[in-house]
Amino acid sequence: MSLRFIQTTLFSLVIFSSCAYSLVIPSPLVSADWLSENLDQVVVLDVRKDLASFSEQGHIPNANLVNTKKVRVTRIIDGVELTRMRPDQANFERFMSAHGVSNDTIVVVTHQGRTPGDVAGAARLYWQMKYYGFEQVALLDGGNAAWTESMEELTTNSSEIIPGRLTNLSSTNEKILATIEQVKLAITSQAVQLVDTRSLRFHVGLDSRKYVYDLGHIPTSKVFPYKFLHPGKGVMSFPNKQQIKSRFEALNIDPNAQIILYCNSAYECSSVWFSLHEIFGNHQVRVYDGSLHQWTKDATNPMTINLAK
- What is the band of 308 on the pLDDT scale with cuts at 50, 70, 90? low
Same domain assignment for residues 145 and 178: no
Containing structural domain, residue 208: 174-295
pLDDT at 236: 97
Same domain assignment for residues 190 and 132: no
pLDDT at 21: 57
Distances (CA, A) of 95 to 45, 90, 181: 12, 9, 28
Q: Is residue 45 part of a domain?
A: yes
pLDDT at 303: 97
| CATH number (domain holding residue 133) | 3.40.250.10
Same domain assignment for residues 188 and 268: yes
Q: Residue 11 above 70 pLDDT?
A: no
Distances (CA, A) of 170 to 29, 101, 131, 136, 248: 24, 16, 11, 14, 34
pLDDT at 3: 39
- What is the band of 101 on the pLDDT scale with cuts at 50, 70, 90? very high
Q: Is residue 289 part of a domain?
A: yes
Q: Is residue 300 part of a domain?
A: no
Same domain assignment for residues 138 and 226: no
Q: Is residue 157 part of a domain?
A: no
Same domain assignment for residues 187 and 286: yes
What mean pLDDT comes out for the span 265-270? 97
pLDDT at 170: 84
Of 14-23, 71-80, 96-105, 130-139, minimum mean pLDDT range? 14-23
Same domain assignment for residues 144 and 200: no
Q: Is residue 80 part of a domain?
A: yes
Q: Is residue 306 part of a domain?
A: no
Q: Is residue 156 part of a domain?
A: no
pLDDT at 158: 83
| Reported pTM | 0.92
pLDDT at 13: 36
How many angstroms separate the CA atoms of 307 and 9, rounded? 71
How many angstroms separate the CA atoms of 70 and 202, rounded? 25
Torsion from C-alpha of 260, 76, 102, 51, nearest 10 degrees: -90
- What is the band of 309 on the pLDDT scale with cuts at 50, 70, 90? low
Same domain assignment for residues 184 and 266: yes
Same domain assignment for residues 96 and 204: no
Same domain assignment for residues 84 and 197: no
Same domain assignment for residues 29 and 115: yes
Over the stretch 143-173, which tens digit does the pLDDT of each residue have?
A: 999 999 999 999 999 888 999 999 999 889 9
Of 5-9, 18-22, 220-224, minimum mean pLDDT range? 5-9
Task: With beta carbons less than 8 A apart as the criterion, state whether 287 and 174 touch.
Answer: no
Over the stretch 195-216, which tens digit does the pLDDT of each residue have?
A: 999 999 999 999 999 999 999 9
How many angstroms separate the CA atoms of 258 and 266, rounded? 18
Over the stretch 18-72, which tens digit does the pLDDT of each residue have?
A: 345 578 899 999 999 999 999 999 999 999 999 999 999 999 999 999 999 999 9
Same domain assignment for residues 213 and 273: yes
Q: Residue 224 above 90 pLDDT?
A: yes
Same domain assignment for residues 87 and 144: yes
pLDDT at 305: 84
φ, ψ for residue 244, nearest 5 deg: -60, -45
Q: Is residue 63 part of a domain?
A: yes
Domain total in the chain: 2
Q: Which helix (H) or strand (E) holds 269?
A: helix 269-273
